[in-house]
Amino acid sequence: MSGIDPDQYVAENRDQLAHVIKHSNDRFVRSLCLAALVEYGDDGDVDEIQNELEEFRAVNND
């Protein structure tokens, strides 16, 4: 039985994972996507998501 390589999956689906993190109403699903990016993505992926979330918080606080 061969499984999906998580590093490859995250590399190939980075944009979709980021989209789910930004737009999903399901906190559990967003958490899973974020965990995948943190564990198997590169530092740039995590930094990009963090910056976008900070911008979102700033807009909502205004």
- The secondary element (H helix, E strand) that includes residue 42 is none
Which residue type sits at 53? L
**Residues 49/21, Cβ–Cβ less than 8 Å:** yes
Q: What per-residue confidence (pLDDT) applies to 55?
A: 83
Count CB neighbours of 48 within 10 A.
15
Q: What per-residue confidence (pLDDT) applies to 1?
A: 46
Express each pLDDT in 3-52 by its tens digit: 889 999 999 999 999 899 889 999 999 999 989 998 998 878 778 878 87
Q: Where are the domains of the chain?
A: 6-61
**Residues 29/16, Cβ–Cβ less than 8 Å:** no
